[in-house]
Amino acid sequence: MLERGEVANSWRRERWDSLRLLTPNWLTRLPGQHYDGPDPDGYMTSGEVAEFIDRFARAVRAPVRTGTEVLSIRPDGAAYHVLTGRGEFRSRAVVLAGGACNIATVPAAGTDVPGAVAQLTPLGYRGPDRLPDGGVLVVGASATGVQLAAEIRRSGRPVTLAVGEHVRLPRVYRKRDVLWWMHHSGVWDQRHDEIDDLDRARRLPSPQLVGTPERATLDLNALTALGVELVGRLAKVRDGVALFSGGLRNVCALADLKMNRLLAAFDEWARADGRESDVGPPEQFPPTVVPARTRLRLDLRGDRIGAIIWATGFRPDYRWLDVPVLDGKGRLRHEGGVVDAPGLYALGLPMLRRRRSSFINGIEDDARAVIGHLAAALR
Ligand SMILES: Cc1cc2nc3c(=O)[nH]c(=O)nc-3n(C[C@H](O)[C@H](O)[C@H](O)COP(=O)(O)OP(=O)(O)OC[C@H]3O[C@@H](n4cnc5c(N)ncnc54)[C@H](O)[C@@H]3O)c2cc1C
């Protein structure tokens, strides 16, 4: 196992200071290792996740070579040549497990932002006290965007949040964590080969969730109550002015509709599975409140904006992969983790085999299936 940094590197180096998992402790598990502390319904800090992974690596004596960056992988006869910062390997099989979130996506509009406005991504952001003075424009309203918008607003700054397509969820539904429902109802176990539009499912934004001791919901209504200004999707930046879509109302109506459909499916499952007595009564949530007229432009020079945070998603880094297995959009061509080249495999990507694939609790089943294939191929 080759690791460029330390074990659990992304949790040590690439997360902001206040981040907690959005998955509850009882659901944070690795093969043979469950959370065994006093707060199963709580949410781990990044430091606690790093410790959890470290403990696992020690328990299974994972043969990790830390400080060993893979610089290139290329075909070499019936095997692969792997060049690292610390020597070369020849290997008949390679598992790409470098993570799904190595690079923060920044839209093309970023190049038109005036130089005086700082631009950050979630991989570089640490906390509101390290931002330059002034208001903050957060672009993207999925898990990362809503969490950062709330934290920065609470620090006393004006925050504008540009909202595109998003997944709205309550933190708790019928007295259970919403991820309890995802886990037990089977939604999270929907398989890659059962889903009609797999490409779309793989690009679905992360849900608007945050893990806090209060188990609070962090949807757009909660952000409005905090004083965050909601605007539509960022279309472009022209002459120093950020231009937003006028379609916020539609985007929010669609997110409300999808949330209600999912909650109705949970209700249906609870009835059919005899779980009614385990959970509270069905609940309804008010629709997202969108102002009658949202701002369509924000002058990045005149409106005292100090920083833009691009919370517009992440992607894996394959710049070191010299094997022709990427599609026209730079995505890995694979079937449930079996890559389109003999001996090459992948783990940890969104919807790799199931909806839960990119979460810590999703790795066990995926790894078993992928390694099963790999072992058979080697035999
Ligand atoms: C902001 C954020 C919040 C998240 N919150 C949750 C959550 O609440 N719950 C949850 O279950 N999941 C969450 N995730 C997803 C989480 O990242 C995964 O569940 C888990 O970390 C994936 O593990 P991984 O080993 O596949 O990838 P990573 O944790 O990214 O690990 C990949 C490793 O590969 C190393 N690496 C990369 N390239 C190279 C190279 N060229 N050479 C050598 N080593 C390399 C990296 O240093 C890193 O240590 C979150 C992700 C992000 C970005």
Tokens for 173, please give them: 């539904």
Residue with tokens 């005292």: 304
Q: How far apart are CA 298 and CA 26, in angstroms?
A: 43
Q: What is the pLDDT of residues 56-107, one digit of tens each?
A: 999 999 999 999 999 999 999 999 999 999 999 999 999 999 999 999 999 9
DSSP 346-359: E-S-TTSSBTTTTS
Average the pLDDT over 121-140 and give the result. 97
The residues facing 126 across adjacent strands are none
pLDDT the model gives residue 337: 98
Q: What average pLDDT does this structure show over 179-184?
A: 98
3-state secondary structure at position 27: helix
In DSSP notation, 254-270 reads: HHHHHHHHHHHHHHHHH
For residue 317, give the ligand 1 atom closest to its CA.
38
What is the reported pTM? 0.96
373 burial type by CB count under 10 A (0-12 exposed, 13-18 middle, 19+ buried): middle
Judged against a pLDDT cut of 90, whether residue 287 lies above it is answered with yes
Residue nearest to atom 10 of ligand 1 (CA): 359
Closest residue (by CA) to atom 37 of ligand 1? 98
Q: 202-243, pLDDT tens digit by residue?
A: 999 999 999 999 999 999 999 999 999 999 999 999 999 999
332-351 pLDDT, tens digit per residue, is: 999 999 999 999 999 999 99
Ligand 1 atom with minimal separation from the 314 CA: 53
* Strand duo 118-120 + 176-177: pairing: unpaired
- 333 CA distance to ligand 1 middle (Å): 20
Query: What number does the ligand 1 atom closest to the CA of 211 have?
Result: 8
Give φ, ψ of 125 to 5 degrees.
-70, 135
Q: Is 348 in the pocket of ligand 1 (CB under 6 A)?
A: yes
Of ligand 1's listed atoms, the one at least distance from the Cα of 71 is 41
Please tell me if the CB atom of residue 69 comes closer than 6 angstroms to any atom of ligand 1: yes
Ligand 1, atom 14: closest residue by C-alpha: 359
Q: Which residue's alpha carbon is nearest to atom 30 within ligand 1?
A: 99
Query: From the CB of 308, is ligand 1 less than 6 Å away?
Result: no
Give the whole-number percent of the chain exceeding pLDDT 90. 98
- Atom 34 (ligand 1): residue with closest C-alpha? 98
Q: What pLDDT does 292 receive?
A: 86
234-238 and 241-244 beta bridge pairing = antiparallel
Q: How far is the CA of 97 from the centre of ligand 1 (A)?
A: 9
User: Using CA positions, which residue lies closest to atom 51 of ligand 1?
Assistant: 101
pLDDT at position 303 over 80: no
206 lines ligand 1 (CB under 6 A): no
Choose one of 101, 332, 355 to mutate for the ligand 1 pocket test, by most ligand atoms within 8 angstroms of C-beta: 101
User: Do 20 and 43 touch, CB atoms closer than 8 A?
Assistant: yes
CA of 47 to the centre of ligand 1 (A): 14
pLDDT tops 80 at residue 264 = yes
109: its two tokens: 């509009």
CA of 347, closest atom in ligand 1: 26
Instruction: Note the pLDDT of residue 302.
Output: 83
Does residue 22 line the site of ligand 1, with CB under 6 A? Answer: yes
Mean pLDDT of the chain: 97
